[in-house]
Amino acid sequence: MNSYGQFKADSTYKPLDVAILLYDGVELLDFAGPGEVFQQANFNGKDAFNVYTVGINSNKIISQSFLNITTQYIIDDCPMPDILIIPGGNNLALVNNENLVAWISKVNEKAEFVLSVCNGLNLLAKTGVLDGMTATSHYRALDNLIKNYPKINIVKGKRFVDNGRIITTEGVSAGIDGSLYLLSKMFNSDVANDVAKVMMYNWKPETLDYIVTQKEDTLFEKRISAFTWMPDGKAILLNILKIDKTENTPPIPKKFKFIIPSETVEFLAIDGGGLSVSPDGNSVAYIKQVNGKDQIYLYNFNEKEGKLLVIDTLKKYAVNWSSDGRNLVYNIQIGNGANAKVEICTYNIQTSRINQITKNSTFKCYTPVWNARGDKIVYTSEKGDKRDQIYLTDKNGSYHTNLTNDTTTHNYAPFWLNEKNIMYIQAPGIIMTMKIDGTHKQKVEGISTTQFKYNLISNRILYLDAEGNLTIADLNNKTMKILINQNQLNALFNESYFKK
């Protein structure tokens, strides 16, 4: 987002698009007030915003039974806005409009800011994006909202609530206050004061009772960098990075367990990476650096502490469990630089015996994955020609069979679909399946990703889409659902977790 100073200095500045959602029964001042604020914002002889209105199924709207309005767009042809305004009015029936709720959810994922006025909160709340956040609305709408949306902390008597990029307001004239506040947040107080003066609006923010729940720090962002399933398919483990955009400080990684049915988060005191859950779901194997050396640890969910398993001087990564929970398979690196060898080892937890199952390979052997119901292992082979292949071996490394066996594609990240079928990525981001003899290669339609995990129990794929949203594809009913979008990261994984 451009600062006010940048805006004045930038002769190529393009006005930000502001979309105002309208529908039959919309409250007049709810949308006219914010519309006036953004339309009046003019700096250095330029319009700061391009304001337009959007209907749902029709361009013809009647506001408060007397004002006929023609919108520029409907939701099916509306350009993606930078700011979305959702005014209140007679909208209770609209929460059941699946197309509208889906459109608001899609816009919310991409817009810089979203502002609801009055019981416009109904429509925003229906998307689920406000779960875990604090919000407000018109005093007459509060009881109904509290009843219908128990996951939202709905407060009374606050002019507006700022959740970082989502602002909710009490209603009617409060929409003007929320919009002026957003101007001051985006630019500075002078900008908001100038617009209020033109509107002859008595704008005194110091006298308003409002809440700022998250002072958004634009120098940092949170990002899902890795994830894995719990065996039962009802929860996942996540690695969340807090990243300094200035690159002055290193990323801060934290581990969490996310329970899917309740959408709740549990912090995990795991200081390491490469999480892999045991088949019984009781433990997590991970790699931790100790005195500059990679060691394999075991974290027990009940005891909530880590236990050292494998200690040596080799660099390690990509830990995975055997089907019986008695062994681990993982990568080691021998040497440094481009000539370093990447091999695969197994580790017997009961005997502490290490067995290197690839030896002096002509290619690097990455990401070994043990079959969930057998002794076979698949892995990625890299020969340096950007044509990686998927290989099959057993727990002893007694054979190594090229399954993809082609010279034209880049194949990596294998995963077991079942005992006889494998899932993997074919560049640039296609998920493929094939039998363990390399035949019957098929594309999984509708998914594009470079990172995924499959769960055998639920028959679902967990993956990151192009926008960084963590998404679930259910292969049983052929549906896809965003589980955690980028806008929910701050609410789910708040700053208290990342304090050192």
Extents of the domains making up the chain: 4-212, 220-498
Q: Are 395 and 346 within 8 A, CB to CB?
A: yes
pLDDT value for 6: 41
Q: What gap in Å lies between CA 86 and CA 400, rounded to an integer?
A: 59
Same fold across 4-212 and 220-498: no
Give the helix, strand, coil percentages of the chain, each rounded to 5. 20, 40, 40
**Per residue in 396-444, pLDDT tens?**
999 999 999 987 889 999 999 999 999 999 999 999 999 999 999 999 9
CATH architecture of 220-498: 6 Propeller (2.120)
Task: Tell me what pLDDT residue 3 has.
Answer: 40
**pLDDT score for 459:** 95
pLDDT in tens, 454-486: 999 999 999 999 888 999 999 999 999 999 987
- CATH code assigned to 4-212: 3.40.50.880
Q: Alpha-carbon Rg of the chain, whole angstroms?
A: 27
For residue 180, give every residue at least 6 positions away whose Cβ sits within 8 Å of its Cβ, in sequence order, or none: 37, 192, 195, 196, 201, 203, 205
Distance CA 489, CA 469 (A): 10
Q: What is the mean pLDDT of the segment spanning 249-268? A: 89
User: For the segment 332-379, what is each residue's pLDDT rounded down to a tens digit?
Assistant: 999 888 788 999 999 999 999 999 999 877 789 999 999 988 889 999
- Token output for 312: 């040596």
